[in-house]
Amino acid sequence: MSPAIPLLLPWAAAAALALADGQRRLVGWLAAAALASTFALLCVLAGEVFTEGPRQIVAGDWAPGVGIVLRADALGALFAALSVGVLLAAFVHELLKGGQGRLFPALVLFLCTGLVGLFLTGDVFNFYVFFELTMIASYILAAYGGRGRELRAGFVFAVVNLLGSFLFLLGVAAVYHVTGSLEMQAVAARLRDAEPSAVVLIAVFFFVAFGVKLGLFPFHFWLPPVYASARPGVAAMLSGAVANVGSYGLLRFGADILPAELRLGAGVLLVLGTASILYGALQAVSRRSVSEVLAYSAIGQAGYVLIALGIGGTVGLAAAVIYTIVNSLNKTLLFLAIDLRGWLVGAAFVVGAFSVAGVPPTAGFFGKLALFQAGIDEGSVALVALIFVGGALSFVYMFQIYQHDFWRPDASGTPPAERGPRSSLALRTPTFAVAAIVVALGVLPEPLLVAGREAAQALGAIAS
C-alpha cells in the first residue's frame, strides 16, 4: 500500500463532492463512504508499517532530497488512522442529525485530506502546506452556521492560529537557511552540527506554533470560545482530530528532528504542562456550561502530553503517544455524547468521564498509568502527585456535568435524559462505537501499549 493512495482518495472525493449539493442525503453518504474507505486504507497501511517497517515514496521518482518524500512510519500511520477514525464518527453523527449546509461534506473531506497529508509527509514545507489546508478547513467548519457567536469564535480561532502558522513558516525558512534541505531526515542530521543558538530559535518557533494548535497554557485563549460555540460534531472533530496535529508536531519536530533541544527545554515543558493541567482543571470545575467545561478539560489534557514530552526517553515518549490517543478518543466521545438524549447515553458519557479521570476499566486508566510510570522513572514525587491531583480534579468536574446534565431533574420534575427529543438509535451508534472502543482498550490494552512503544521507537530510530 503506497502512502499516496489514502491521500489522493479523500482529495478527489472532496473536489468531486464540492460540485454537488451537500444538503442532499446521497452526497452526505458518499462523503461518509469516502471517509470510511480512507480509514480502512489507513488501518491497512498502519498494519503494514507496524509489521514491516516504514514505507517511503518520493514524488516524481527523484532522489529523496530533491523530490518531496511521503513517508509512513509508525507514528504517522498511527496518528493518521486515529484522526480519520475520529472524523468518521463525528461526520456520521452530524450526517444523521441533519441540517448541515451545501459544502459541509466537502469541507470535512478536505480536512481529512489535510490531516492525512501532514501525518504522512516527510518534508518540512509539505507539512506546512497540508497544515494550512487542515487549518483553513477547520476555520470554515468552526464558523459554520453563520450567526454572530460562531463567526466571532471563528475569527478569533483564525487569527490566533494564523499567527502560529506564520511563526511556523519563519521556522521553516530558518531551517532551510541553516541546513539547506527540507527533507526531515536530512534536516535532523544536519541540525545536529549547526550553530546551537540558531537551532534553539528554530525550536522555539516550532514549539510556539504547535503549542497554539494544541491549546497549551499561555496560548490557550482561543480554545474555550471556539469549542463552546461550535456544533458538537465540529467540536468533536476539532478536539479529537485537529488537536492531534499539535501533539504530532511536538513529537515529530521535537523528539525526532530536534531531540537535543527537547532535552534542553525539558524544564520549560514541565512547568508549562503543570500550568496547563492546573489551569484547565480549576477553570473546568468552576464553569457551568458543558461545552466550556470540556474545552477547559482539553487544555488540561494537553498539559499531560507536554509533561510526558518533558520527561522524554522511550518511556516518556511512549506515554505521550498513548495519552494522545486516549485523549482524542475521550474528547470525541464526550462531545458527541452531550448532544444526544436517550437510553444508555448517560452510560456512554460515564465511560468518557471515567476515561478522562483515569478510572478502570477504560483506556484512560492505561493512559494515566503510562504517565505514572514515566513520572516514577524520572524519580519525581511532584510529578506523580500532580498527575494524581489532575485526575482527581477531572473526576470532580466530570461528575458535576453528569449530575447537571444526566441525573438531576429540572424544575418540572423530568429527568434530564427525557428532556428534548430522543435521539434515534442510528444517531447514537457512532457514540456507542467510540465508547465500546474506549472500554475495549481499557480491558485489553495490549494494542494501545504496543502502538505507543512502536511509535516512540520510530522517533528514536530516525534521530540516532
Partner 1 sequence: MSLLVQGLARLLLAPILMVAFAVLVKGYADVGDGFAAGAIASLAILLQYIAFGREQTERTLAIRLLPAAAFVGLLSALAITAAPLASGDPLLTHTPGAGTEPIHLGTLELIGAFAFDIAVFLLVLGATLGIIHAIAREAERVEGIEPR
Partner 2 sequence: MTLIPALAVGVLFGCGAFLLLKPDLFRIVAGIVLVAHAANIALISSGLERGQSPIHPLAEGPVSDPLVQALTITALVIGFAVTALLLCLAYGIYVSSKTVDLDDLSHAEARDERELEREEVSV
Residue 155 or 395 having the CB closest to partner 2: 155
Q: How far is the CB of 149 from partner 1 (least distance, A)?
A: 21
- DSSP letter, residue 1: -
Q: According to CB under 8 A, which residues from 203 to 242 bind partner 2?
A: 225
DSSP string for residues in 205-235? HHHHHHHHHHT-GGG-TTHHHHHHHS-HHHH
Distances from the Cα of 81 to the Cα of 194, 241, 420, angstroms: 35, 10, 35
Residue 406 phi/psi, 5-degree rounding, is -120, -10
Using the rule CB under 8 A, which residue among 33, 173, 381, 425 binds partner 2? Answer: 173
- Per DSSP, the three-state class of 106 is helix
Selection from partner 2, partner 1, none that 152 binds (CB < 5 to 8 A by kind) is partner 2
Q: How far is the CB of 40 from partner 1 (least distance, A)?
A: 19
- Per DSSP, the three-state class of 123 is strand
Q: According to CB under 8 A, which residues from 12 to 41 bind partner 1?
A: 12, 15-16, 18-19
Q: How far is the CB of 422 from partner 2 (least distance, A)?
A: 18
Q: How far is the CB of 66 from partner 1 (least distance, A)?
A: 12
What is the rounded CA–CA span in Å between residue 7 and residue 12?
9
Selection from partner 2, partner 1, none that 15 binds (CB < 5 to 8 A by kind) is partner 1
- How many residues interact with partner 1 (rule CB under 8 A)? 17
Cell output for 287? 464553569
Residue 19 or 26 having the CB closest to partner 1: 19
Using the rule CB under 8 A, which residue among 25, 26, 52, 61 binds partner 1? Answer: 61
Selection from partner 1, partner 2, none that 58 binds (CB < 5 to 8 A by kind) is partner 1
Q: According to CB under 8 A, which residues from 105 to 164 bind partner 2?
A: 125, 128-129, 132, 136, 139-140, 143, 146-149, 151-152, 154-155, 158-159, 162-163
Q: How far is the CB of 105 from partner 2 (least distance, A)?
A: 19
Using the rule CB under 8 A, which residue among 33, 59, 376, 389 binds partner 1? Answer: 59
1 binds partner 1 per the rule CB under 8 A: no
Cell output for 274? 503543570
- DSSP letter, residue 72: E
Q: How far is the CB of 414 from partner 1 (least distance, A)?
A: 45
* HSE value, Cβ hemisphere, 13 Å, CA-based, for 32: 15
Cis ω on the peptide bond leading into residue 361 (within 30° of 0)? yes
Residue 210 or 304 having the CB closest to partner 2: 210
Cell output for 248? 504530532
> For residues 265 and 242, is the Cβ–Cβ distance under 8 A?
no
DSSP string for residues in 135-194? HHHHHHHHTTT-SHHHHHHHHHHHHHHHHHHHHHHHHHHHHHHHHS--BHHHHHHHHTTS
Cell output for 4? 499516496
Q: Which residues bind partner 2 (CB under 8 A)?
A: 125, 128-129, 132, 136, 139-140, 143, 146-149, 151-152, 154-155, 158-159, 162-163, 166, 169-170, 172-174, 176-177, 182, 225, 288-289, 410-411
